[in-house]
Structure 1
Amino acid sequence: MLSAAGDAGTPDPGRSYDPPLTVDLRGTPGSVSWRPADSELHIEPGTGPDAGVLPCVVLADRAGCAEFAVLQDTLHHLGVPSVRVDAETIASLRLSTAVTGDTGGMSAVLDLDGRRIMPTVVWARHFSPRAMPATADAVETLLRAESWHALVRQLCSLAPASLPGNRPGRLEQLAGAARAGVRVPRTVVTTSPAEAAARLPGPRVVVKVVEEHFVETEPGLLTGVLPEIAAREEVLRRPALDYPVIVQEHIEHDAELRVYHVAGGLHGYAVGKRSPDSPWREEGEVTVAPVAVPPAAADAVRRLAALWGMTYGAFDLLLRKDEVVFLEVNPDGDWRWFEAKAGGHAVSTAVALAARTLHLAALGNAVPPAPLDLVDFLLLGARRAGSVR
């Protein structure tokens, strides 16, 4: 999880959320990181038309995120070559892409900074065009950012495999979960929080934005607009807005779970916190513990992941007696922060194995996955190397 900086500011009664929180990544160095394979499982470049082309995992992220640093180190030890590109430095790359088609479908070969690679797996997370540095020319800035973002997005479609999979929006998630028979909070999307609160039961409501929880006003400067739990009577006095927000019933619950879905495997954490923004404003007060995912929650997560075509997703759930309540799923959800709070590296292990399996499958290779104890051992070194980013 990215760390916060700056003052929360002064409350504004006209806003539908708590005072914003600022995350300042300006000056965080981006990079293009090449990691060759480091084991006997390394697949050498092909012969014939593909001579000199290296099958490679492509990771696209932004500076300041540790997840891919650890993943890349682990893939290196597992015999999987990779290149990681941060949004902040991608414009420095020199690229030529050959897109070819035959009866087997489309494929792409990249000449990237003088190296020829064939993406076997492409995983893009937090890769936003807004993170790319601006120039004095506004048109050029937008064109450059949107072009690189479009290329990475379309490489996800051309590669044999991509992560995280589909990216359903928040409203699509709620509607899909409800249709699938999973309980969701009663929800109103509105420009008038007061009118929405009047339609919902209970003494409290939840207010959240429709899109991402952070907006980037300039490259590297993010402002969090985090979900809040507010007294219904207070929301009834709020003025109308000029943009839509989500207002939901607040559901009393016995437990809150974060469940990571990784290629069908599930890894659960029980989360204890006073408010939705506690991980940002009072990190030390948040408790995280690894737990077995209850069968009803496991069934809901797997059904929803299949419904939305997600190989990876961070699901937020509530447990109330024997009932599972779906809140949302984040296709880019960080996992290192949860592992650090809870101890262990179950999700890091799972994503490394999943990426390696997809890479080998793209090559038609039936090498069995590495044993979990080997991956855990490799992660000990990777955690030290990738913990500071």
Structure 2
Amino acid sequence: MLAPVGGSANDLPSRLHGPPVTVDLRSSHGTVSWSPPKPDGALTATPCVVLADRAGCGEFAVLQTMLRRLGVPSVRIDAEGVTALDLSLRVGDRALTLDGRRIAPTVVWARHFSPRAMPGAADPALTMVRADSWAALARQLASLAPSNLPMSGPGHLEQLAGAARAGVRVPETTVTTDPAAAATRMAGRRFVVKVVDEHFVETAPGLLVGVFPQIAHREELTRRPALDFPVMVQEYVEHDSELRVYYVDGAVHAYAVAKPSPDSPWRDGAEVPVTTAAVPAAAAEAVRRLAELWGLAYGAFDLLLRGTEVVFLEVNVDGDWRWFESRAGGTAVSAAAALMIRKRHLDALRSAGAPPPIEIVDFLLLGAPIAGRVR
């Protein structure tokens, strides 16, 4: 999680009636990070994992450190620094040259690699063309690699409908431009109001405005004016606990989160208790069922537990994990992600007929603490 700064409450209908939060990433300078650090000068392409993210996120920095311990070469590209990249590839060739180094991608994982994060130019048209071109290339680089993790997954409405069809409990949900009218047609005394898409909008490169879910009582919601964009109005589900469950190539790791409100991690992250948690069998089964349904290798699932009942809220295929690790202690999700990428990298080498490196005991390689700042 990243620290918020102040913002105006006069836009986006008062941020759906919650206090404003703006996250400023404009001081984050993008880089290209190689591991091993120096080009080897070889004429043949080096099999290499490609990680694409943005500079303000810490997940891939830790992942790259772990991959280095596992003997897996990688390059990490930050969205903010792409305009300085020297890139070349021939269509039909499964290799490319980045900053003078020729690589053959084995795994491509891109997350948060939004065109809105890329630096602007004086000409607005050039800004858009440049950003869209880099984002399109990042998406299509996946075709060069035997394995990739996509930047997009099912939308929130698709998630809720799919989970319900799969037999997983979801909150009653209405999509509407008139939350007050929706509340009159739904049972219950409290509701959750959410945007249909992401909880952040990037109004300028590096400046993210939060539009978080808000809990509203019926009396307050029925007084709200209609909007000129659709939102989701959901029943508030009474629950015993909330879990963030990370699905990583079949494995599940969970954290219990005690949030006074849906946006507490962004407003008062240091005060939000987070602990590692055992995953109830019903929750693990639901997560694996939905991951298989949507073809996910990785996903951050938000669940509510009410007695023995599991309620699915949403899954984020780009979901951050370092904040949860840092609050609870440990690097379980980082290690699981590194082992997932290492396995896919080795599978790509075997498929290409290249000898994989000698296997070494994983826990010895990943057991040392991770250096550097935790985000």
Residue aligned with 1:155, SS: helix
- Select which of 134, 140, 146 maps to 1:148: 134
Residue aligned with 1:79, SS: coil
Which residue in 1 is equivalent to 2:116?
A: 130
Which residue in 2 is equivalent to 1:376?
A: 366
Q: Work out the CA distance in 1 between the residues paired with 2:25 and 2:337.
A: 25
Which residue in 2 is equivalent to 1:98?
A: 90
Which deviations, in whole Å up to 9, do the C-alpha atoms of 1:363-383 show, x marking residues without a partner?
A: 1156686534224324x1xx2
Distance 1:187 1:268, change over 3 A: same
How high is the TM-score relative to the length of structure 1? 0.90
Q: Which amino acid aligns with 2:145?
A: A
Alignment of structure 1 residues 234-383 onto 2, 5 Å: 234-364=220-350, 370-378=360-368, 380=369, 383=370
- Select which of 52, 56, 60 maps to 1:64: 56
- Select which of 67, 79, 82 maps to 1:75: 67
Q: Which amino acid aligns with 2:190?
A: R
Q: Work out the CA distance in 2 between the residues paired with 1:30 and 1:13.
A: 33
Alignment of structure 1 residues 123-272 onto 2, 5 Å: 123-164=109-150, 167-272=153-258
Farther-moved stretch of structure 1 (365-374 vs 222-231): 365-374
RMSD: 2.2
Which residue in 1 is equivalent to 2:19?
A: 19
Residue aligned with 1:98, SS: coil
Is contact 1:37–1:80 with CA below 8 Å preserved after alignment? no
Q: Work out the CA distance in 2 between the residues paired with 1:360 and 1:208.
A: 41
Farther-moved stretch of structure 1 (217-226 vs 367-376): 367-376
List runs of 5+ in structure 1 lacking aligned partners: 39-43, 101-106
Q: Work out the CA distance in 1 between the residues paired with 2:289 and 2:336.
A: 19
Which deviations, in whole Å up to 9, do the C-alpha atoms of 1:134-158 show, x marking residues without a partner?
A: 1011111100000100000111233
How high is the TM-score relative to the length of structure 2? 0.93
Is contact 1:17–1:208 with CA below 8 Å preserved after alignment? no
Is contact 2:245–2:301 with CA below 8 Å preserved after alignment? yes
Residue aligned with 2:132, SS: helix
Distance 1:261 1:195, change over 3 A: same
Is contact 1:256–1:317 with CA below 8 Å preserved after alignment? yes
Q: Work out the CA distance in 1 between the residues paired with 2:256 and 2:14.
A: 34
Which deviations, in whole Å up to 9, do the C-alpha atoms of 1:43-82 show, x marking residues without a partner?
A: x999xxxx52011000111111111111111111211111
Residue aligned with 1:226, SS: coil
Is contact 1:260–1:315 with CA below 8 Å preserved after alignment? yes
Which deviations, in whole Å up to 9, do the C-alpha atoms of 1:272-324 show, x marking residues without a partner?
A: 11000010112232111111110000000001001101100000000111111
Farther-moved stretch of structure 1 (74-83 vs 157-166): 157-166
Q: Which amino acid aligns with 1:99?
A: V
Distance 1:291 1:242, change over 3 A: same
Is contact 1:54–1:116 with CA below 8 Å preserved after alignment? yes
Is contact 2:326–2:374 with CA below 8 Å preserved after alignment? no
Which residue in 2 is equivalent to 1:41?
A: none
Is contact 2:69–2:366 with CA below 8 Å preserved after alignment? no
Which residue in 1 is equivalent to 2:30?
A: 30
